[in-house]
Amino acid sequence: MPVPSTSPTGHPPDQDLPAYNEPPRPKLPFSAGCSRIPFVLLVVFLAGCGRAPAPEPDLARASWEEIERLARGQTVDLLMWTGDPYINAYMRTYVIPTLRERHGITLNIVPGQGNQIVSMLMTEREAGKTESAFDMMWINGETFYQLRQIDALYGPFTERLPNARYIDFDDPFIGIDFQQPVDGYEMPWGNVQWILIYDSARVSDPPRTPEALAAWVKAHPGRFTFDTSFTGMTFLKTLLIHFAGGPGRLSGPFDPETYARHAPRLWRFLNEIKPYLWKRGETFPASVTQLHQLFAAGEIDFTMSNNDGEVDNKVLQGLFPETARAYVLDGGTIRNTHYLGIVKTAPHKAGALVVCNFLISPEAQLKKLDPQVWGDGTVLDLDRLPPAWQERFRNVSGRRFAPDRAAIRDRALQEPDATYMIRLYDDFRREVIGR
């Protein structure tokens, strides 16, 4: 059975939501390449499809009731990663029909992520378009950073959403995206933490530190590897934080001196275990989906995920054995949030605002928290919810193989600046793959 890809989101995504056939991350905000051509054509095609809505009034001055009235009848195009059947089903069977029934909005899902989104909006900008072919997108991390650099996001808008009162934007894992304050330009949608997944039938005592992991890998040749996409790079970021001295050591803007001082330890660590990795480290899975496939086939004893709830999701799908378990390293692992952004030149901003508000509603957040639906962590601060909703969130069933979220919260590491990720992508290929 093929293994579906995992979200950027864990999700996310982008970014880079691989073998999930994740596209390579861009080195520059406006990098162009052959992979951009089909998307450009798609943009041109959609732009010519008669999306010519009447100009919207100044939404910053409109009441929420007026925004809802304006949104009724609009078609909202959402760019998002579509590599997971459970996420797709959540959108197709719940979100889309509910928006249509309650708000008269037609939500149209368009595949796209990461550098595709950046390239598409740059193309529109270079063509002088004042109205985008799309309204909103699922983003985080360097995609958010790049879109802010080219001034492609609408906002600030989050304070306009009634359900935003349930979100604690002072929580650094919510209000800061890869060290960049969101400042109202993207709405938190899901919150997840990176985990290691192992088969307890084959591994009785999983390693809890990078040093213990290295010893385990050397003692079990060919039974461990990691992917070269977003999830694998998050693993490398976790290791880099560890070698830099622990939590907080990579906080703030990218510091080239800090990176130059600590990255060599990471490369030494990886090159020492490289001969003992799957295929002797001569090749790596291109995506986390391929990594999951190797794990499901019993070729390796570990896989990994950016979503701490994914192990339950995959067991329920029948992809992982019921002996699969997930955990975080003693020194912590990266927790991040994935977001929804609205295109600055979106033709249907009112509709996009109503879609965002619905997706952060207690009802929509609770539904996707269920591992049988998606298993995505909520961005809502439960203490801000009405008591009846708090009770429902605290009694979500189905999380059997993942660690309790409250139990791993004290081992959550913040995402470093997006440039660390970009440098790791490049230098890993030169310092490890190329050797």
Tell me what pLDDT residue 7 has: 43
Say if residue 208 is exposed, middle or buried (CB neighbours under 10 Å; 0-12, 13-18, 19+).
middle
Neighbours of 45 (CB within 10 A): 10
Of 435 and 392, more confident = 392
For residue 41, give both structure tokens: 């054509």
Tell me what pLDDT residue 58 has: 81
Distance of CA 383 to the CA centre of its chain: 25
Tell me what pLDDT residue 56 has: 67
Question: Is 229 within 8 Å of 236 (Cβ atoms)?
Answer: no
Tell me what pLDDT residue 298 has: 96
Question: Is 141 within 8 Å of 52 (Cβ atoms)?
Answer: no
Neighbours of 212 (CB within 10 A): 14
Reported residue count of the chain is 435
Report whether pLDDT(333) > 80.
Answer: yes
Tell me what pLDDT residue 20 has: 27
Report whether pLDDT(40) > 80.
Answer: no
For residue 187, give both structure tokens: 């709405």
Distance of CA 219 to the CA centre of its chain: 33
- Treating both helix axes as pointing N-terminal to C-terminal, what angle do 362-369 and 349-359 enclose, rounded to 10 degrees? 60
Residues 173-219 have pLDDT tens digits of 999 999 999 999 999 999 999 999 999 999 999 999 999 999 999 99
Question: At 296, is the secondary structure helix, strand, or coil?
Answer: helix
If we measure between CA atoms, which residue out of 341, 309, 21 comes closest to residue 188? Answer: 341
Tell me what pLDDT residue 140 has: 87
Mean pLDDT computed over 169-176 = 96
β-pairing, 302-305 vs 195-199, is: antiparallel
Tell me what pLDDT residue 378 has: 96
CA distances from 335 to 141, 202, 242, 382 (A): 12, 27, 15, 18
Percent of the chain with pLDDT over 90: 76
Query: Which H or E run includes 324?
Result: strand 324-327
- Determine the Cα–Cα distance for residues 160 and 341; give it in Å rounded to an integer: 14
Residues 51-108 have pLDDT tens digits of 555 566 788 889 999 999 999 999 999 999 998 888 999 999 999 999 999 999 999 9
Tell me what pLDDT residue 435 has: 81
Query: What are phi and psi for residue 147, nearest 5 degrees?
Result: -65, -35
For residue 210, give both structure tokens: 């990078």
Which residues sit opposite 153 in a β-bridge?
Answer: 343
Question: Is 312 within 8 Å of 336 (Cβ atoms)?
Answer: no
Of 399 and 369, more confident = 369
Alpha-carbon torsion angle 358, 363, 365, 371, nearest 10 = -140
Query: Which H or E run includes 234?
Result: helix 230-244
- Determine the Cα–Cα distance for residues 218 and 377; give it in Å rounded to an integer: 34
Report whether pLDDT(49) > 70.
Answer: no
- Determine the Cα–Cα distance for residues 181 and 158; give it in Å rounded to an integer: 13
Report whether pLDDT(48) > 70.
Answer: no
Tell me what pLDDT residue 124 has: 95
- Determine the Cα–Cα distance for residues 302 and 324; give it in Å rounded to an integer: 9
CA distances from 252 to 149, 333, 354 (A): 17, 18, 33
For residue 195, give both structure tokens: 């985990």
Tell me what pLDDT residue 50 has: 45
Quick one: DSSP state of residue 432?
Answer: I
- Determine the Cα–Cα distance for residues 147 and 418; give it in Å rounded to an integer: 13
For residue 67, give both structure tokens: 């925004």
β-pairing, 180-181 vs 136-139, is: unpaired
Question: Is 373 within 8 Å of 317 (Cβ atoms)?
Answer: no
CA distances from 95 to 107, 110, 113, 338, 361 (A): 8, 14, 19, 17, 11
Of 250 and 1, more confident = 250
Mean pLDDT computed over 331-352 = 97
For residue 21, name the pLDDT band (cuts at 50, 70, 90): very low
Distance of CA 318 to the CA centre of its chain: 23
For residue 63, give both structure tokens: 């009441």
Indicate the pTM of the whole model: 0.82
Percent of the chain with pLDDT over 70: 87
Residues 245-274 have pLDDT tens digits of 999 999 999 999 999 999 999 999 999 999
Tell me what pLDDT residue 55 has: 62
pLDDT averaged over every residue in the chain: 88
